Copies of this chain bind each other. A is one copy, B any other.
Amino acid sequence: MREIYLYQAIQEAVSEEMRRDERVFLTGEAVGPSGTSPTRPPKEIMEEFGEHRVRETGIVEQMLAAGSAGAAMAGMRPIVDFMMADFMFPAWNEIMQAGLWRSGHGGAENISIPVVYMSGLMSYGSGGFSHSRAPIANVWHGPGLKVVLPTTPYDTKGLLKTAIRDNNPVVFISHRLLYRTQGPVPEEEYLIPFGEATVRREGKDVTIVALSYMVNLSLEAAEVLEQEGISVEIIDPRTLEPLDINTILVSVEKTGRLVVVDEDYIRCGIGAEIAFQVQEKLLKSLKAPVQRVGNLNTPIPVASNLMQAVMPTKEKIIAAVKKTLV
């Protein structure tokens, strides 16, 4: 099978869906033909669609988020590119509101709000406190949104196409450290349903749950641990909402040990939530407390060694796994 970069998987998904359905349009800063957003479709393809379907803007995140929800309710299918995940913050109210509209209508006339809020995590660079945040737990916390964090080019393309066809607001978060990773992606069309976790690595001693770039960090940790005779299973839920808790439970039932790795602030985070759901069902199967590795509730510093002190690292994942084994 051909191999493509993850950013190409995004571009293909967007262009294919734009061709397939003329209600789909793309909007955001720097999505135009001269733009630099990694998620914009290639120049030629944008020229195919014209200004009404590739709506480049300045810095107007509130307009992008709420305007697109309005267009969606009025029958369009917008894809919003926020570039950096941090840029969801200025539109936080509007993104949260997108999850509320349908319930507020009581679902009358089967109203739908098919909008995709796309962005990339910028962590592990020198962006500092406001250009490297990972607002994952907070969007998952908000009701009415679906939340997708793909790891591979294959998953990215299949899940993004599903997102664009979904009739609900979907927050779709990729990762700058993955844009230039390659992977097999078939030429033929395929979709990946939401709510199906995948086992990235089989193992028997400890279960790790991780998404996006955290999967790669965890895989690295697992290699090291294997050499020490510790066998790690890695589950990638791919979508948080809906969450395939079952695949996680099956794994933890087998291993009796769980580590959740998540690059967002750790407090009230993904680790806490998954741990809760696991102890609720499997308290007595847990051989050790669940561990979590995440941002230690700290605005991210610029200096690399400080940033590493705050953020998940391979070493911290290894230590957390070992903690479940003592």
Q: Contact residues of A with B, CB < 8 Å?
A: 89-90, 92-93, 96-97, 99-100, 103-104, 106, 128-130, 137-138, 140-144, 264-265, 267-273, 275-276, 279-281, 283, 286, 288-292, 297-299, 301
Contacts and interface: CB of A to CB of B under 8 A. Distances in A.
A143 B286 CA distance: 30
Copies of this chain, complex-wide, total 2
A280 B128 CA distance: 30
A-B complex: 5 closest residue pairs judged by Cβ atoms: A92-B92, A103-B299, A272-B272, A89-B93, A272-B276
Nearest to A91: B93
B299 A289 contact: no
A268 B265 contact: no
Nearest to A281: B289
B292 A276 contact: yes
A291 B281 CA distance: 11
B103 A141 contact: no
A141 B265 contact: yes
Contacts of A275: 272, 275-276, 279
B301 A290 contact: no
A256 to B, nearest CB: 12
A298 B103 contact: yes
A129 B137 CA distance: 20
A140 B268 contact: yes
A131 B273 CA distance: 26
A92 B143 CA distance: 17
A271 B272 CA distance: 9
A138 B138 contact: yes
Nearest to A102: B299
Contacts of A272: 268, 272-273, 275-276
Contacts of A128: 104
A104 B129 contact: yes
Given A89-B96, A96-B89, A286-B283, A141 B299 contact: no
Given A130-B104, A268-B268, A268-B273, A289 B279 contact: yes
